[in-house]
A and B are shown apart, each in its own frame.
Chain A
Amino acid sequence: MSSLLEVRKLCAWYGATQVLYDVDFSLDAGRVTAILGANGAGKTTTLRALCQMVRTSGSIVFDSQRLVGKATEGVVRLGVAHVPDGRGTFTALSVEENLKLGAHVRRDKADVARDIEKMYSRFPRLGERHRQQAGTLSGGEQQMLAISRALMLRPKLLLLDEPSFGLAPLVVAEIFAIMRTINQDDGVSMLLVEQNARLALELADHAYLLETGRVALAGTSEQFKADESVRRSYLGY
């Protein structure tokens, strides 16, 4: 299997503060990889580094293109969609405008319209509220909107930053079920950052554990789930 994303010796900084230290990982096409770790371990920063939203060094090769040094919008145009921390909703715009913006770089208008309908059938609540201001949606609906907006790019790789954050368990289950179908039916590869390790390992094939900006552990989800000491000391279940 070819790897879609190869990250080598990735370092990242916020101002003068280094947050990531020589992080290595890779992601195979069509798979879901989880990045686990405690608060402040550098999970969000890893995603932000992939999109070149923070100062980085090292090498990131995505789909045989080097990402380090590119502008964020350039990375996105290669097919990397990012559902950011805090969801990044355009709160003053309507649900439909948010979806249209997700397809901003696409030129196939008819297909974009069809994809919007597809999102509405996948998340019927977005369809019911398509003219509503996005800021008035509930947290779960905004998360659905954020995922839909990212999918409107027709990405090769979807970066998800804590999709379960602040949501009721039922809503989380719904969203994770849909993420699974997106991965299986549409073949979208995913890099998933989660605090909820149990949930993430259910969905992911591979996982990396970050600890203070370094990869502490890597393996398949099965290995993570089987290792009781890892589960207890790092994953908290």
Chain B
Amino acid sequence: MEGVLHQIFSGLANGCIYGSVALALVMIYQSTHHINFAQGELATFSTFIAWALMQAGWPYWAAFGATVAISFVAGLAIQRIILRPVERAPVLTNVIVFIGLLVIVNALSGWIFEHTIKAFPSPFPQKSMLATRFFSAHELGSAAVMVCVLLALYAFFRFTPVGLAMRAAAQNPESARLVGIRVSWMLGVGWGLAAAIGAVAGMMVAPIVFLDPNMMSGILLYGFAAALLGGVDNPWGAVIGGLIVGVLENLLGAYVIGTELKLTVALVLIVGVLTLKPSGLFGKPVVTRV
């Protein structure tokens, strides 16, 4: 019993990370109806930046903050420079751009930081008070960080004028323009936020999976599964989807299919959700009035 509980709790901790990757995907999907396939590679690159800063002697939280800020600006810049020209282009064009970004960023990570696997520190020391019977200190700490990110995002969208403008722009771009909202810039801010969330997720997962240029490829698949399971247009769904995927993955991996086949859980979920309930658990089914 103790073992099962442990698997569940550690699944929840992983789930927080999958949930935040899913949230980053949803953030861009909501306003553009595109899935950013490069989300994982961007997060990996961000994590490398944090690693480099720490190698240069920065303390953990300073490097953490700087990385989040740099990632935000980089995400914004990518949208402005690379994606804005294809804003009105067909979906396929955008998909190709995303895949191009994925390959480029992945290659850049390898070129600049090399392919050797690196250890990435956790800010939550194993011997600390945080460690309990069911959670390791890092699991509990990273879950707490993710919850803080979620609350900050919620407050941003709910209580700030820019957040309100972003919701309006995502919902009804034409009306948003008619009240003077610079819709295209709102997409840029959305990209910035997604990149920042991805950076946090990357830094939280790196101590567990170790840092290398392909670190996020598996995590991104779980993120896709989480986003689809929760309903790809629903931010809360993404988070809950993440938690469910995290727990499922751990339980099935430990007791049913073995750790080698864990990633299959994500793939089966993706295919399953898309065939059985494409709108996910909490998404709105798309209905067109004719």
Contact = CB atoms under 8 A, between A and B. Distances in A.
Contacts of A176: none
B175 A73 contact: no
B151 interface: no
Given A73-B183, A101-B181, A90 B174 contact: no
Given A51-B178, A73-B182, A84-B178, A104 B165 contact: yes
Interface stretch (A30-38, A92-100, A114-122, A191-199): A92-100
A101 B171 CA distance: 13
Given A76-B177, A76-B180, A88 B172 contact: yes
A89 interface: yes
B276 interface: no
A146 B183 CA distance: 19
A101 B165 contact: yes
Interface in B154-206: 161, 164-165, 167-168, 171-172, 174-183
- State which size class the interface on A falls in: 20 to 34
A72 B165 contact: no
A51 B178 CA distance: 8
A100 B165 CA distance: 9
Interface string A69-93: 0011100110001101000111111
B180 A93 contact: no
Interface residues of B, number: 17
Contacts of B165: 101, 104
A156 interface: no
Contacts of B179: 76, 101-102, 104-105, 149, 153
Contacts of A100: 161, 164
Contacts of A97: 164, 168
Contacts of A171: none
A53 interface: yes
Interface in B206-232: none
Interface in B97-119: none
Contacts of A93: 164, 167-168, 171
A105 B180 contact: yes
Given A73-B181, A100-B164, A88 B175 contact: yes
B183 to A, nearest CB: 7
A39 to B, nearest CB: 19
Contacts of A101: 164-165, 168, 176, 179, 181
Contacts of A149: 179
Contacts of B161: 100, 104
Top 7 closest pairs, chain A to chain B, by CB: A88-B175, A105-B180, A76-B180, A72-B177, A82-B178, A73-B180, A104-B179
30 contacts: A51-B178, A53-B177, A71-B177, A71-B182, A72-B178, A73-B177, A73-B180, A73-B181, A73-B182, A76-B179, A84-B175, A84-B178, A88-B174, A89-B172, A89-B175, A90-B171, A90-B176, A91-B171, A93-B164, A93-B168, A93-B171, A100-B161, A101-B181, A102-B179, A104-B179, A104-B180, A104-B181, A105-B179, A105-B180, A153-B180
Interface of A: 51, 53, 71-73, 76-77, 81-82, 84, 88-93, 97, 100-102, 104-105, 149, 153
